Chain A
Amino acid sequence: MSFFDLFKGPSAETLAAQQEGEARRADILLALHKGTVPTRVQQRLEGARSGKLPWIATLTPAELIAVRSHGIKPIASVSATCWLHHGWSWTEGHQQGWETALRRLRDEAVAAGANAVLDVKMRTIRLPVEESMDFTLIGTAVSVADLPPSPEPIVATVPTLEFVKLLEADVVPTGLAVGAAYEWLTDWQGNASQAWKGNIEAKKLSQLWNRVRHRSYAELRNNAQRRGNGVLAHLDFSQMFEVEQNEKMRYLARHIVVATTVDARAGAPFPHEIKMAVDMHAGATPLTGTNRHHQSYELNDEEGAI
């Protein structure tokens, strides 16, 4: 668009595109209200399900080999977002935000006729919008040979190679569980941080952390119970702040844990021998599965998660 285009009216093409955009946005909002999948997404997923549209996979070719040898076929890319305003509690919003996104992701997977969603990544887009956070999940819906589409597809928040390893060991990843807790501590005596005391435990702060962490892990356990009998690979996010209010110090401790829930049979043997192997992959190897899979809490990585 050049400067002079500003004085012209919009072209017929632009007008049509604008109208289409309006209709699409209205449809998305309606779908969010009704708790359904937006029409456009529905159409795309049905097209991929029937094979009319190309399938889409976030998997790498190596992962594609691994899933195909297990009878798994990619269908479509599915995703879900819940942008939440933390009017009440930032910490506890994480539970609500991820739960909502998880429900929506599952709805898309059902529309795609999937048995599972693999490689589900937690994503957060940072826009300067006060007191709010984006909870986005994105993954690949897949079907398993000889199984009918599932009314409740499983959601694997692990990389695909790890998913296959888990399956071989008779462990099924089932979704996400979140535990979040926070507490404010007002320092009435003014001695919580033990300033000027030399080597000494700051007991009040220790106890504060202890309570908050225990509560968040207890909540993680409660939430995980609905989906499986264990959790793996949790990620931690914790922060403590000192705020001065009415000449008293106040401390806020918050702790969030997010973990992959699994359903595992106790005592199931792992059927493989251990052999030495050379990994040809350049850079970080996918074999260890330690490459970063989520970026929603990376802020905390820089500070060093505890």
Chain B
Amino acid sequence: MTSEIPLHAKQRLKGLRSGVHSSGVFTSDFSVNEFLLVRKAGFEPIGLCVGSCVYHVGIQYTNWSKNQELDVLSKAMYHSRELALSRMRAEATAMGADGIVGVKLSIKRLEWDEHLLEFIAIGTGVVHGEGHKGFRAHDGGPFTSDLSGQDFWSLLHAGYRPVEMVMGSCVYHVAHRGVLASLGNIGRNVELENFTSAMYEAREIAIDRMQAEAGAAKAEGVVGVEVHEGSHVWKPHVIEFFAIGTAVLPLEQEIAPEKIADPIMVLSVND
């Protein structure tokens, strides 16, 4: 092997510890590639940040034959995620992190009570290697992002930095169709406009809310947006539309835009 092993790595191989971090140890859930790319982007991981929240979701009675947003449930899904995320962010602030990358937000049901849901947010707190504070969010706290380490590196090289993980939720009751209404359609393919419009409304509300959050974070745009549909613990006609993405701002002096290389096109010869 011709490549030189760096001095620090050699010392580590000899059994000496690193003194870079305050506790001497950083924790992260990075994979190898992720770790290398986050460091390539100029950041060092300092520790895992976790926030969780067990939430009792209230009851909302629905009109069997009506399309409508279930605002009690929408608010519950919002509030609980917000609690988990803000706790995670508080942990990152306490560590002195400039941001959190690779945030995973998950929901668990608790076995003994269908109204109890646990929300968990976990990600890796990172600091800028040269102490640059320009990467922090609009409020001076750490940025949050559900992007992986690879995506984080790519985003910086696209000329953007992450600001905040933004989301929009809408829990929606889709009306049941009466038996008579279905009999009228035999022999024809017809659109069920009631259902179509339910999808439109619920999706629009979720996207609208996510966009409003991005506006509040003074972001220019939102990347990696996904719109999920899930039913969690509710009845079959109740679905949650959940939009989530990372709000971003253009880099100003952190990386000069002209330094960004054009990507190289790769055609994979793997099947």
Contact of A272 with B267 in the complex, beta carbons under 8 Å? yes
- Neighbouring A residues of B222 by C-beta, 8 Å: 54-57
Docked CA distance A81–B60 (Å): 27
Contact of B190 among A29, A59, A68, A85 (CB under 8 A): A85
22 example contacts (A-B, Cβ-Cβ < 8 A) are as follows A1-B59, A6-B61, A25-B67, A54-B220, A55-B221, A56-B211, A59-B223, A60-B151, A61-B152, A61-B154, A74-B221, A77-B243, A81-B199, A82-B191, A83-B191, A83-B192, A83-B195, A85-B182, A85-B185, A87-B186, A88-B187, A287-B268
Size category of the binding interface on chain A: 35 or more
Segment from B83-91, B104-112, B156-164 that makes contact with A: B156-164
Q: Does B229 contact A (CB under 8 A)?
A: yes
- Which residues of B pack against A, CB within 8 Å? 31, 33-34, 36-37, 58-61, 67-69, 71-72, 147-148, 150-152, 154-155, 157-160, 174, 177, 182, 185-193, 195-197, 199-201, 203-204, 207-208, 210-211, 214-215, 219-227, 229, 236-237, 239, 243, 245, 247, 260, 262-271
Given contacts A25-B67, A82-B191, A272-B267, contact A64 B155 (CB under 8 A): yes
Contact of A84 with B192 in the complex, beta carbons under 8 Å? yes
Contact of A44 with B211 in the complex, beta carbons under 8 Å? yes
Q: Does A53 contact B (CB under 8 A)?
A: yes
Contact of B265 with A164 in the complex, beta carbons under 8 Å? yes
Closest B residue to A32 by beta carbon equals B193
Docked CA distance A88–B36 (Å): 57
- Which residues of A pack against B, CB within 8 Å? 1-3, 6, 14, 17, 21, 24-25, 28-29, 32-33, 38, 40-41, 44, 48, 53-62, 64-66, 68-69, 74, 77, 79, 81-89, 92-93, 96, 100, 123, 125, 127-132, 134, 136, 138, 140, 164-165, 168, 270, 272, 274-275, 277, 279-282, 285, 287-290
- Decide if the interface of chain A is mainly helix, strand, loop or mixed: mixed
- Neighbouring B residues of A1 by C-beta, 8 Å: 58-60, 72
Docked CA distance A301–B145 (Å): 33
Docked CA distance A267–B59 (Å): 63
Docked CA distance A165–B187 (Å): 45
Closest A residue to B151 by beta carbon equals A61
- Neighbouring B residues of A6 by C-beta, 8 Å: 61
Contact of B31 with A130 in the complex, beta carbons under 8 Å? no
Which 3 pairs show the lowest CB-CB distances between chains A and B?
Answer: A83-B195, A61-B155, A61-B154
Contact of A88 with B225 in the complex, beta carbons under 8 Å? no
Contact of A68 with B158 in the complex, beta carbons under 8 Å? yes
- Neighbouring A residues of B269 by C-beta, 8 Å: 274
Given contact pairs A61-B223, A83-B199, a sample of 17 additional A-B residue pairs in the complex whose CB atoms are under 8 Å apart: A41-B204, A53-B215, A56-B245, A57-B245, A61-B151, A84-B192, A85-B189, A86-B189, A87-B186, A87-B187, A88-B189, A125-B199, A127-B174, A129-B192, A136-B199, A275-B266, A280-B36
